[in-house]
Chain A
Amino acid sequence: MSTVITHHPDSTTLLSYAAATIAEPLAAVVAAHLSMCPRCRAEVADLELLGAAIMLSAPDCSSGAALKVPARPADVAKLADGRVAHSNDRLPAPISAAYALSLDSIPWKRLGPGVWHHRLALRQEGDGDLRLLRIAPGRKMPDHGHGGAELTLVIEGAYRDVTGQYRRGDIQDVDEGIEHQPIVDTDGECICMIASEQPARFKSLVGRLTQPWTRM
Chain B
Amino acid sequence: MLHPTSATRPVGWMTRRPFRGTMSDLLSRIATDRSEDAFRSLFKEFGPRVRNFMMQQGADAGLAEELAQETLITVWRKASLYSAEKGSATTWIYTIARNLRTDHIRRQRAWQELTDEHAQKIPSDDVPADEVMDARQRQVRVQTVLKQLPPDQVEVVKLAFMDGLPHSEIATRLSLPLGTVKSRIRLAYQKLRTALEDLQ
Contact = CB atoms under 8 A, between A and B. Distances in A.
Interface of A: 10-12, 14-24, 27-28, 30-31, 34-35, 38, 41-43, 45-58, 60-62, 65, 67-70, 72-73, 75-76, 79, 83, 86, 93-94, 98, 122-124, 127, 176
A47 B191 CA distance: 12
12 contacts: A11-B186, A11-B190, A19-B161, A38-B126, A46-B138, A48-B94, A49-B91, A62-B55, A67-B65, A69-B43, A79-B78, A124-B107
Interface residues of B, number: 85
B120 interface: yes
Question: Which 9 pairs from chain A and chain B are nearest by CB?
Answer: A52-B94, A27-B111, A31-B111, A52-B90, A11-B189, A19-B160, A51-B161, A54-B161, A73-B73
Nearest to B140: A53
Contact of B48 (A22, A43, A62, A70): A62
Contact of A55 (B77, B97, B126): B97
B185 interface: yes
Given A15-B185, A45-B91, A24 B164 contact: no
Nearest to B64: A62
Contacts of A98: 109
Interface in B45-82: 46-53, 55-56, 61, 64-65, 68-69, 72-73, 76-78, 80-81
Given A12-B167, A20-B99, A50-B157, A30 B111 contact: yes
A131 B19 CA distance: 44
Given A19-B164, A48-B91, A67-B68, 7 more contacts: A15-B189, A46-B192, A49-B91, A54-B146, A60-B49, A62-B51, A86-B121
Given A15-B189, A56-B49, A49 B164 contact: no
Interface in B101-124: 101-102, 106-113, 115, 117-118, 120-122
Contacts of B102: 20
A75 B34 CA distance: 9
A51 B94 CA distance: 7
A149 B68 CA distance: 32
B91 A58 contact: no
A100 B191 CA distance: 40
Contacts of A18: 112, 161
Nearest to B86: A45
B61 A62 contact: yes
Contact of B39 (A35, A47, A72, A76): A72
Contacts of B158: 54, 58
A58 B160 CA distance: 13
Nearest to A24: B108
Contact of A51 (B55, B87, B98): B98
A87 B68 CA distance: 34
Nearest to A58: B162
A57 B126 CA distance: 33
Contacts of A43: 193
Contacts of A34: 113
A119 to B, nearest CB: 15
